[in-house]
Structure 1
Amino acid sequence: MLKPKTTKKDTRKELESLVDEFIKAKGEIQHVDMGESGLVDGKYNTTHIGFSEPKQQRTPLPHVVAAIQERKHPPASQKGPLPNKPTKKMLYDDFGEPLRWVWEE
């Protein structure tokens, strides 16, 4: 049996009731300024930013890139001619009514 989906209205009611219960139990709500919770000692937390190491030099490898590109897209001259595939053609009678399909090369 599937559970009924909770709607936004139900979620709002539930949160409102939880807040009311908290306040009735002598709980106190503190005011926090917008953006304050993301600050550490009044500054943004920069320990998680990944720019602590200096930029590394990269070794150019154009021959490797060229080999990969060639494998992805071989030149047209290497592909060769495409084989002729048989095609389906409808045969009609003298009155234009379809009779049957035939394969032509």
Structure 2
Amino acid sequence: MNKRPTKREIRQQMNNEVDQYLNKGGEVREFQRGESGLINGKIDDRSSGFEQGKQKRTPLLDELKAVDERKKSETPASPAKSNRPRKKIIYDDFGEPVREVWIE
């Protein structure tokens, strides 16, 4: 079984990767809080997800009725009864097992 890395190990690995990126000439740009979500200083209205308008929905009532009908039409398989005797435990008034009896 493989050992999961601890938070300390993950943090160290991420710091090493950032250091390698910076040593290769990479650059980290810093942004003001909330600035990266802005386009030309404004919130992008097209990114809200409402630009497409209302979509046509598929009515599900007929589909659900068909599924229910299929469930009703299936007859549940009855378990095969065996003629083997089975064990029944007899309990006393306090719920403690007293004895076992075999029932045919």
**What is the TM-score of this pair, normalised by structure 2?**
0.42
**What is the TM-score of this pair, normalised by structure 1?**
0.41
